[in-house]
């Protein structure tokens, strides 16, 4: 593979550093001003709005930048992104949204310019379309199921803005995100410390979220990225509970996760919530409905309600799975006993299992439970038929 060269018009040395660390590029020239002679060997041009204003960029594009194979423009605010996205995109320029970390900028540039590029370690995040959509139950159920069927050490990071321990049997002395926050921010948290802070259930390690809602705003996208990166050193699989409201935590998680799952129900209220978020938040972050896979929770098979196919079409997403609505009493008992709904219903468990299998396939993780079951059946056949 022939390595490409980059001209980066920016004052941000961290972007250059991240691109160099990827190992994909021949050389990267960084400059805080533009001169045509800088373009002589560049295959890729990256312009940072903080260094090169939009008007200057668009003025230079026809004569100088248009001949470059790949063009990127890094926006500095949501207003700028919304205003210029359509125009620059029509010229084939890739417009990067604000609030991306330097690592995420590097990953997006690599993904657009490098054949067969894949991010090492892919996280999956779950976002609800409103309170009561069932993010806590669904994300924990899927994480538990996937860890069971793959035998992989799996973590579920609660980054919903709350503690997220409604269905976790945790002692009064249990720890969580609040207890490791300072060490995380100061880059002295070890993978082992992270693992020991989690609540363990077989192969699943759950990190309870921030206990004090007033402190959620102090977590920046860079902190979330650091936590996810550290999680991949400690665990095989990383899942994130983003909750049902968009915060700095959930934005950092969505930007870091390669697999994004949207949890909703057949209620029209949740659809309206999502459309509002899509228009006012996601569109400014470069995240579209098509980036999500939909999980329809609390599903009821009724002619009076939309089916799962029509719901996914309305949302503009692919369909990841359907999870049935269980009796209200069962839900109350599960909450009281801090148990997964999978414990009370085979239909529910099968639905979760199907989604977990699909995610394992997307993450290219081998299903060991299936092989184990096959091995048991094979041994039984050998006994019965004397093979």
Q: Which residue has the higher pLDDT, 353 or 282?
A: 353
Identify the residue whose tokens are 């977990």. 356
* pTM of full prediction above 0.85: no
Q: What is the pLDDT of residue 172?
A: 66
DSSP string, 111-151: HHHSTT---SS-EEEEEESSTTS-HHHHHHHHHHHHHHHH-
Encode pLDDT of 239-296 as tens digits. Answer: 999 999 888 888 889 988 989 999 999 999 999 999 999 988 888 788 889 999 999 9
Distance CA 362, CA 84 (A): 34
- Collapsing DSSP to helix, strand or coil, 293 comes out as strand
Q: What is the SS3 assignment for 356-386? A: HHHHHHHCCCCCHHHHHHHHHHHHHHHHHHC
CB atoms within 10 A of CB 196: 13
Quick one: tokens of 351?
């639905």
Which residues are CB-neighbours of 102 under 8 A, at least 6 positions away? Answer: 12, 14, 15, 17, 18
Q: What is the pLDDT of residue 377?
A: 41
Domains in the chain with CATH codes: 4-113 (3.40.50.2300), 123-372 (3.40.50.300)
The distance of Cα 115 from the centroid of its chain, to the nearest Å, equals: 22
- Collapsing DSSP to helix, strand or coil, 168 comes out as coil
């Amino acid at each position: 593979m022939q390595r490409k060269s980059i001209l980066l018009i920016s004052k941000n040395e961290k972007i250059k550093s991240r691109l160099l660390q990827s190992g994909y590029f021949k050389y990267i020239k960084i400059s805080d001003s533009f001169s045509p002679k800088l373009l002589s060997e560049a295959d890729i041009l990256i312009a940072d709005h903080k260094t090169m204003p939009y008007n200057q960029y668009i003025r230079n594009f026809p004569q100088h930048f248009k001949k470059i194979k790949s063009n990127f423009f890094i926006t500095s605010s949501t207003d700028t992104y919304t205003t210029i996205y359509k125009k620059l995109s029509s010229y084939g320029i890739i417009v990067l949204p604000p609030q991306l970390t330097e690592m995420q900028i590097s990953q997006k540039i690599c993904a657009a310019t490098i054949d067969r590029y894949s991010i090492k370690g892919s996280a999956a995040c779950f976002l609800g379309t409103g309170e009561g959509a069932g993010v806590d139950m669904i994300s924990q159920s899927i994480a538990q199921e996937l860890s069971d069927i793959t035998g992989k050490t799996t973590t579920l990071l609660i980054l919903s803005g709350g503690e997220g321990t409604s269905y976790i049997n945790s002692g009064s002395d249990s720890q969580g995100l609040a207890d490791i926050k300072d060490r995380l921010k100061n880059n002295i948290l070890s993978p082992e410390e992270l693992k020991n802070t989690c609540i363990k259930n077989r192969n699943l390690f759950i990190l309870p979220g921030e206990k004090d809602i007033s402190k959620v705003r102090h977590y920046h996208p860079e902190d979330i990225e650091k936590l996810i990166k550290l999680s991949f050193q400690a665990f095989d699989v990383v899942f994130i509970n983003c909750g049902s409201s968009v915060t700095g935590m959930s934005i950092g998680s969505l930007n870091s996760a390669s697999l994004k799952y949207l949890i909703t129900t057949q209620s029209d209220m949740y659809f309206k919530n999502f459309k509002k978020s899509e228009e006012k938040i996601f569109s400014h972050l470069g995240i579209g409905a098509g980036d999500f896979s939909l999980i329809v929770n609390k599903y009821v098979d009724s002619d009076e309600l939309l089916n799962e196919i029509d719901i996914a079409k309305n949302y503009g997403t692919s369909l990841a799975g359907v999870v049935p609505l269980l009796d209200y009493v069962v839900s109350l008992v599960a909450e009281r006993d801090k148990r997964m709904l999978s414990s009370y219903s085979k239909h529910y468990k099968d639905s979760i299992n199907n989604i977990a299998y699909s995610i394992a396939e997307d993450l290219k993780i081998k299903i060991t439970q299936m092989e184990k079951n096959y091995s048991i059946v094979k041994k039984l056949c050998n006994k019965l038929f004397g093979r």
